[in-house]
Structure formats: C-alpha cells, structure tokens
Amino acid sequence: MRPVDAPIVTAAEMRAAEAACFAGGASQTALMEAAARAIAREAARFAMGRPITVLAGAGNNGGDAFGTARFLAEQGFDVVVAALGQAGGGAAAMRSRWSGATVALHEAPVRPLVVDGLFGIGLSRAITGAPAAAIERLRAGADFVLAIDIASGLHADSGEARGIVLRADATLALGAVKRGHFQGAGIGASGALLLDTLGLSVDSPVRMLARPRLAAPGAVDHKYTRGLVGVVAGAMPGAARLAAGAAARGGAGYVVLAGEDAGVPFDAVVQRAAIDPERAAAVLVGPGLGRGDMACTLCEEWLSSDLTLVLDGDALSLIDADSLRLRTAPTVLTPHAGEFARLFGEPSGDRIAAALDAAQRSGAVVVLKGATTIVASSSGEARVHRPSSWLSTAGTGDVLAGLVAARLAVTKAPFRAACEAVWLHARAAALAGPALVADDLAMHIPIAIAECL
C-alpha cells in the first residue's frame, strides 16, 4: 500500500521496534517470512509473468530476498537468486529453504524484473568493486527494479549515496518508511514508495504529512474573526502580489499589504494600508522586501513586536538565530536550503534532524523547503512531504509563505498551520499540472481547500 500519515524512522528506531517484537515472542524467521510474502506480492504485480532476478545479500535483507524467491517460484515464476556473501543468522535459515537456482552476484542474469535485497538499513560503507559493477550492469538492463526496504547503496537515515546506488522504480518499506527515502539521493533512487508494516508497532514524532481536515467559516464569522493577515513587502511587485493573493485564497478574511506601492492592482480582499497590530492575526514579513537599510529597520521592528510572524525571503537574510531566540510570540520560518544554511549552518546529511535542531534552537516552527519539505517544531514533532518537482519555479515560495500566514491567522496554531499550508501548496501544484507557474498555484488553492472540508 502507499503510506499515508506513516511514521518515518531512523535505522536505530526500526531496530528497536524489531527488538520489541522479538521480546514479545515473535521469531526473526517468522518476521522474515512475513516480509518475504509481502515482497513477493508486489514483485508478482510488477513482473506480469516475466522472469525475475532476486539479489540477496548476507544480512537480513538477503534473508527476505531468499524467502521472496521461494514464494515467487511457488507461484510459477522463473526465478534466479544472485547471492553476495554467506548468509548468517535468520538469513541462513531462509537460504536453506530455497532450492532453486542460485548464482554469484557477478553472474546475475539481466532480467526484466530485479528484486534488490543486497544491502539494507545496516549499510555503512560504499559499494565498490565487483558488486558495484554488477549493480551498474543490472540497472542498465532491467525494465523494473523493486527494492526491499531501501535501495542498495543508500544510507537509511540521510539518504546519502554510499558509492553506487541501485536506483529503484519502487521500494517496499518494511515495518516503517525510513528517513533515507525522503532525503539526499534517496529522493530520486527510491521510486514509488510502498509500505507493509508487517504488524509491527512503530511510532515516531516524525511522520509523513497527511491531508488536513479544515473547517468552513462559521455562520457568524466576518473578515476579522476569520483572521487579518498583514504582508510586509518591498518594491518587487510580483512577490508581494503572489504572497498576498495566496493569503487571501488560503482562508484569511482580510489581507493588508504594507510596502512600497509598485502600482500593482489587488482585488477587494487585499488592501494597501498600515497594519493594525490590534487586529492582525498574523504578519508575513519578507516577500520582495529587499536588503537595504529600510528593510533591515522593518525587520527589526517586527521581530521585536509581540505579533505572530511568518518570516520568508529577504527577511531570512536580515535576521540571525540569536534574535529569533529572544522572541516569545509564535514564529514560523520558511527558508530554502541557502537561507537555512545562513541561519543555522549547513545541514550535515540528515535534513530532518537539522530542521528539528533548528526549530529547537530558535523556538520557531521551521519549514525547510526543497525536493522534500520538512515542517519541524520546537517540541520535536516533524512532518515530511515530497511535493511535485514542478514546484521548482520562481514565485512558488511566495505563495507558500502567504498560505502559511493565512492558515496561521485561521488556526492560531503555528505547527498545524504550517502543515496545512505545505499540504495545500503541494495539492494545488498537483491540480495545476505540469509546467505550472506560481500564478497557477493561487488559482487552485480554493479547490485544494474544498477537498479538505
């Protein structure tokens, strides 16, 4: 199945869940049998009757692989196992139950479907030499690669490539999805992500982002009870227009734009005026703001206020982490990788861990944007989402910032608001379709919201 609202775990957390399962009386072999059945079901679906090569390493993934080969052969598939190393522990028991054809990895036949059970979450070194050459040959010749748990060559936590990676067309995560599926090379090398929990009890404060449940305005609500959003922008009209428009369509009752007048017309729900701090539910600072003296002064003034803030764009280049720690009012930051590195330092491998650390250090909710977007809170919670790659175009970040401000004005809950905004932003992109521009996003926000009511 495709995972929804699923916990995302580290290798250590996965091992702890397995250990708890074994402590409760389950055997390692029984768990491998369950995993093998699940993998065989998916492999049969992708193979469509064609021959299969199953790659089996010496560890637990190899045990799963030998079991998978057995179940596929029992269904009538033409299966060959290509083995690397001598299986031990539970994997040895699974190998002993396989009576079909087995060859060394370097002799693996190139077949339409390759099931990758070479290296799992325990990989700690680069894949080089003969195994790397075999992986390169198999990937080039196979029509489809199904990875068992994680593609061979990926670090389970960071998603970093350890030498060559056997890029998968689909990955069946076992027990829980791993952080490495959403980071580094894992984003492109995991393919379609599937999950079988195998009945394991796994929990984590880091989870996949789920579709939010939104509420329509109440019968007696008006523009101020729905939430006034202030947008502090500069002379770059495009950024201001996109952010303000997204805030208006994202659920805010009233949007006030404070900034240099670039002569850009706005609709009836967006007005140019001074922001009334008594009425503002959330203030977005940064879209097109610039980095001059006036912009710096504006940032300092808003940062020292007791208003709920969303800081984006140029504002993130005019502040520092120390000033953020001094804030007591709710704050949401929406940095891309470069802005994040300037504020908190370059992430070392695990971006999820880096975002959580930044949230704890700053006291803010951090929305770290990228091919995978991470929403992290200072309490240690995080939500992770892989949006459409078509979002990698100018102006989409301004739309997201406006959405965050709107949801914050409505919910008054920074982490929840950021999660809602990230989901709606990604869904609007999916609705807009390929080759979208930022203006397309804003037009599809109401449709995305309607799906959540």
Q: Which residues are annotated as a binding site for K(+)?
A: 61, 116, 152
Question: CA dist 149 to 119, 179, 408, Å?
Answer: 9, 12, 37
The three-class DSSP label of residue 293 is: helix
Residue type, 104: A
- The sheet carrying 102-104 orders its strands as 102-104, 79-83, 52-56, 113-117, 144-148, 170-174, 192-196
Question: In which residue are the tokens 């009752």 written?
Answer: 253
Q: Which two tokens stand for residue 20?
A: 């708890």
Question: CA dist 181 to 14, 113, 152, Å?
Answer: 14, 21, 12
Which residues are annotated binding-site positions for (6S)-NADPHX? 60-64, 120-126, 149, 239, 288, 336, 398
| 369 touches 331 (CB < 8 A) | no
Question: In which residue are the tokens 């960071």 written?
Answer: 158
- Helix pair 414-432, 438-450: axis angle to 10 deg: 110
Question: CA dist 368 to 149, 159, 377, Å?
Answer: 26, 17, 11
Which residues are annotated binding-site positions? 60-64, 116, 120-126, 149, 152, 239, 288, 336, 369-373, 397-398
Which residues are annotated binding-site positions for AMP? 369-373, 397
Query: For the chain, how are helix, strand and coil distributed in percent, rounded to 5?
Result: 40, 20, 40
| Segment (H or E) for 442 | helix 438-450
**Cα–Cα distance measured from residue 272 to residue 251, given in angstroms and rounded to the nearest whole number:** 19
**Cα–Cα distance measured from residue 4 to residue 8, given in angstroms and rounded to the nearest whole number:** 11
**Cα–Cα distance measured from residue 35 to residue 117, given in angstroms and rounded to the nearest whole number:** 12
| 67 touches 97 (CB < 8 A) | yes
Handedness of CA 303, 309, 354, 399 (dihedral sign): negative
Q: Which two tokens stand for residue 2?
A: 């495709």
Give alpha helix (H) positions in 309-413: 315-318, 321-325, 337-344, 351-362, 396-411
| 108 touches 8 (CB < 8 A) | no
